[in-house]
Amino acid sequence: MNQEELIEFLKGEGYYDIREIPGRGLCGLMRFIFTIGLVEGLTEHSYEGRWCYPYDLAAEAILAFSTWDGEGDPPGDWIKYKGRTEYSNPKLKET
């Protein structure tokens, strides 16, 4: 499956705003049960990980994704990263 076919497949699976981010592979947004996920490393069968934003911050997730260059974590008040490791947003622990 080439990249265009993969992107169309992923759209059919519910991902949107899919784009390539250097060092992160194909990335996109996906609605999960309790959060909006900014998802990295999308493939036909899986993904590397996701940053979870609460639904009330969906606009923030979209803005973070549109400006994120793949360096470090994306900006904003995401709650948790879930992937091979899991961690909470250190910014939220400061308050």
Domain count, the chain: 1
- Position 59 confidence tier, pLDDT thresholds 50, 70, 90: very high
CA 30 to chain centre: 7
Query: Cα–Cα distance between 65 and 1 in angstroms, integer?
Result: 25
The reported pLDDT for the residue numbered 91 is: 87
Q: What's the mean per-residue pLDDT of the chain?
A: 95
20 membership: H or E segment, kind and range: strand 16-21
Of 50 and 94, the structure prediction assigns the larger pLDDT to 50
Domain assignment of residue 14, given as a range: 3-93
For residue 93, pLDDT beyond 90 = no
